[in-house]
Amino acid sequence: MNNLFRSLFSCVVLLLSAGCASTANNNFNSLLWMQSSAEYKANALQAYNGAMRNIDAALADRRWTAVGEQVGDCSSLPPAVVMDIDETVLDNSRYMGRVVVEKSAWSVATWDEWVALKEAAAVPGAVEFINAMNGMSVKVIFISNRECRNRDNPGSGCSQEADTIENLAKVGVHGVLPDDLLLMGEQEGWTSEKKSRREYIAGKYRIVMLFGDDLGDFLAGVKGNITPQERDRLVSEQKNNWGRKWFMLSNPTYGSWMNVLGDQKSRYIRSY
């Protein structure tokens, strides 16, 4: 009887483990939290409300800059805030919902189809903050890893840029110019590493705040060939920037935090 019990118990454990792995791979719980929880909305509003409370100090102090890429005297430069797009300003959880429901995976083709639809909603608090910045004559510039690539034929231009600007207008962010949106691959050297694009902006503006959902939106060299422990150390070293100059939006569904864990992610699960 004991042997039978142990056999049945082992089977149940295996089934549960398989179910949990499937759910984890499909981002079921993470996506459910983003789409249905009041906590997600509160977290986003908290970030943008915190930024509003700090913007006056940022504008008043001409030495205030939010980026290490800002070199030299920037006191005479006009102020700007730099924002990521996806899961920072635009909510793409419906695309992730398709991935979960269809038990598929992210792909360049289906992602580009989603971008072309221009149906992403706004992250709570983002539109109000951006419009407030426009009213205060603070330039809002977007650095996005949406890829600038020919969709239909060579020479057709960067359709993703026009799509993103139209999507922003749909949610209430109007007047965004192509020069205000820096996509991956739009210029030579503009890779998924955003450092070069921050340097480009820092030559024209005093960057007073950064917004993103990934550590790479704030720091260089944190998206690969680095351990989670090293990333934790960098976050601690920058503790005075979080909630003052840097504002992180929550995204448990994808990002470099997951990539640096490697293939054996289960080894990072702690228990007692």
Instruction: Look at the chain and report how many structural domains it folds into.
Output: 1
Residue 150, pLDDT score? 82
* Bridging pattern class, strands 246-248 and 206-212: parallel
Residue 77, pLDDT score? 98
Cβ pair 122, 171 in contact under 8 A: yes
Calculate the CA dihedral of residues 180, 184, 186, 187 and round it to 10 degrees.
100
3 state DSSP class of 272: coil
Residue 34, pLDDT score? 97
Q: How many CB atoms lie within 10 A of CB 192?
A: 13
Structural domain contains residue 12:
no
Domain range for 121: 40-263
Structural domain contains residue 19:
no
CATH of the domain at 71: 3.40.50.1000
Cβ pair 111, 95 in contact under 8 A: yes
The residue whose two tokens read 């706004």 is 122
Phi and psi at residue 25, in whole multiples of 5°?
-65, -30
Whole-angstrom Cα distance, residue 222 to residue 242?
16
Structural domain contains residue 269:
no
Structural domain contains residue 184:
yes
Cβ pair 57, 244 in contact under 8 A: no
The residue whose two tokens read 């608090």 is 125
Extended beta strands in 19-160, E state: 79-83, 90-91, 121-122, 139-147
Whole-angstrom Cα distance, residue 107 to residue 22?
18
Residue 91, pLDDT score? 98
Residue 154, pLDDT score? 59
Residue 245, pLDDT score? 98
Structural domain contains residue 154:
yes
pLDDT tens string, the chain, 272 residues long: the values are 444 334 433 333 333 333 333 434 568 999 999 999 999 999 999 999 999 999 999 999 999 999 999 999 999 999 999 999 999 999 999 999 999 999 999 999 999 999 999 999 999 999 999 999 999 999 999 999 999 988 776 555 799 999 999 999 999 999 999 999 999 999 999 999 999 999 999 999 999 999 999 999 999 999 999 999 999 999 999 999 999 999 999 999 999 999 999 988 989 999 99
Structural domain contains residue 127:
yes
pTM: 0.90
Structural domain contains residue 257:
yes
Structural domain contains residue 139:
yes
* DSSP state letters, 68-94: TT--S--TTSPEEEEE--BTTTEE-HH
